[in-house]
Structure 1
Amino acid sequence: MLLIGNLTLAAENKIAPTLDSVDVTHNGETLTITRGADRHATLPALFQKTERGCPPFCVQPMQAVPGVATIGELDVLNYLSRIHQGDDSILVVDSRTPDWVMRGTIPGSVNIPWNTLNTDLTGNLEQTGEAESLTRVLTEQFGASQDPSTGQWRFDDAKTLVLFCNGIWCAQSTANLQTLAGHGYPVDKLKWYRGGMQDWLSVGLTSVKPE
């Protein structure tokens, strides 16, 4: 596993005043998230662009779906810590396509590409997920169940999902949240890290590349 950036620690370079680091579970191993101490570090070139074509790279609203909480870095770290401590009712989901994940992701997250649930690649990001793919993800990864006789979804044992993508100009996690809510996923079990990878990297938090 390759760590991105300079992770040399300094006493004054905490994540928050009372938070030095957070242990998370990534691919079955413990990994520690910290903030780098390189005062000259900059964002990767991929995240330095300030102008992108819209659609599809449109500025996202503060609320992706009514009732879905928009959260920040410390909230994401809290969820990752809870998972590391054995809470299997939570899943942190990187909604980006694998080519983006190969450039780095949040430790402890799992990659479920947005087009696994949404297959409209025209830039409109409409809710056109394939039923078979959506059903598989809902049952096998998110913990939902479906009544075989009525087709009704049950979410009593479904996980709390924390979704993110590239940042405030990226609609991939927004699309997945809209799809999930549209299929009845309880909005109180859906969380959105709007800042995504761009904000995560901009504050110097640890990221990882797949091996």
Structure 2
Amino acid sequence: MPLPILPPIALLLSLALPAQAADPSAGLFDLDALEVKITPTLPYVEVPHGEQSVLLMRHQDPAHTIVSPYQKTARPCPPYCVQPMQIAPGVETLGELELITYLQEAAAAPSEVLVIDSRTSEWVQRGTIPGSVNIPYTRLDPAYANPQQIAEILQLEFGAVAIDGLWDFANVKTLVFFCNGAWCGQSPTNIKALLGLGYPAHKLKWYRGGLQAWEQLGLTTVAPVDSGP
């Protein structure tokens, strides 16, 4: 189950922390004493999610296991086929540490980075990555959305400019896409659609591992923040 969006200390109190991580004299947890860190020098990061602040960290309970449905390994292909490591020329494939860096960049004000959960509602409600926004892949897929709907997202959310029927992508945001995992085609569908419109490949990033890899590492998930209908 995704963690609720809570203020940082309240969020920590909801986690199973090791006894030595607590500082009884201060009445607070010593975050630097966490036993399960992201890296040896990075125990956690704090990112905004909607109007709240969330501590992005790894689960501290040694008995914690991967939650459903991400423990499942057999899914019919098609449609759930293994994606290549490079989804398209010029589009960078990210791991978890690179994604966390982009989440921190997305938290800046103003930010030129947008981290996008491409999944549809029934998946997103199970939990998403803090600091991301949900833009279901159907809103950018010409098979589901009409050109006007796609154009609105390009202009209002990504920073593209329409000039005489053409797109100017000179000042668009860097978009970081993810979905359910290496077997998920939702974020790859969006990336390919944007490339087809002329969006610069170097401004498109892909977290291939998605929620399945995120859950495998016990990283924080939260309830979604919707970008739009």
- After TM superposition, the score normalised by the length of structure 2 is 0.83
Aligned CA-pair RMSD: 2.0
What is the rounded CA distance, in whole Å, between the counterparts of 2:60 and 2:186 in structure 1? 31
In structure 2, stretches of 5+ residues that fail to align are: 6-10, 19-33
Of 177-186 and 82-91, the range deviating more from structure 2? 82-91
Give the match for residue 173 of structure 1: 187
Query: CA 1:189–1:163 in 2, change beyond 3 Å: closer, same or farther?
Result: same
Give the match for residue 132 of structure 1: 148
**Do 1:7 and 1:35's aligned partners in 2 also have CA atoms closer than 8 Å?**
no
**Do 1:71 and 1:192's aligned partners in 2 also have CA atoms closer than 8 Å?**
yes
Q: Which amino acid aligns with 1:8?
A: A
What is the rounded CA distance, in whole Å, between the counterparts of 1:170 and 1:144 in structure 2? 27
SS of structure 2 residue aligned to 1:45 = coil
Q: Aligned pairs, how many?
A: 202
Alignment of 1:116 with 2:145, yes or no, is no
How far off its partner does 1:83 sit? 2.2
SS of structure 1 residue aligned to 2:192 = helix
Q: Following superposition, which runs of at least 4 residues in structure 1 exceed 6 angstroms of deviation?
A: none
Q: Which has the higher contact order (CA 8 A, sep 6+)?
A: 1
In structure 1, stretches of 5+ residues that fail to align are: 121-127
Alignment of 1:192 with 2:206, yes or no, is yes
Give the match for residue 164 of structure 1: 178
Give the match for residue 221 of structure 2: 207
How far off its partner does 1:107 sit? 0.5
What is the rounded CA distance, in whole Å, between the counterparts of 2:145 and 2:95 in structure 1? 28
What is the rounded CA distance, in whole Å, between the counterparts of 1:209 and 1:171 in structure 2? 22
SS of structure 2 residue aligned to 1:47 = coil
Give the match for residue 98 of structure 1: 121
How far off its partner does 1:209 sit? 1.7
What is the rounded CA distance, in whole Å, between the counterparts of 2:224 and 2:101 in structure 1? 23
Of 41-50 and 99-108, the range deviating more from structure 2? 41-50
Larger radius of gyration: 2
Give the match for residue 4 of structure 2: 2
- After TM superposition, the score normalised by the length of structure 1 is 0.90
**Do 1:58 and 1:170's aligned partners in 2 also have CA atoms closer than 8 Å?**
yes
**Do 1:9 and 1:35's aligned partners in 2 also have CA atoms closer than 8 Å?**
no
Identity %: 48
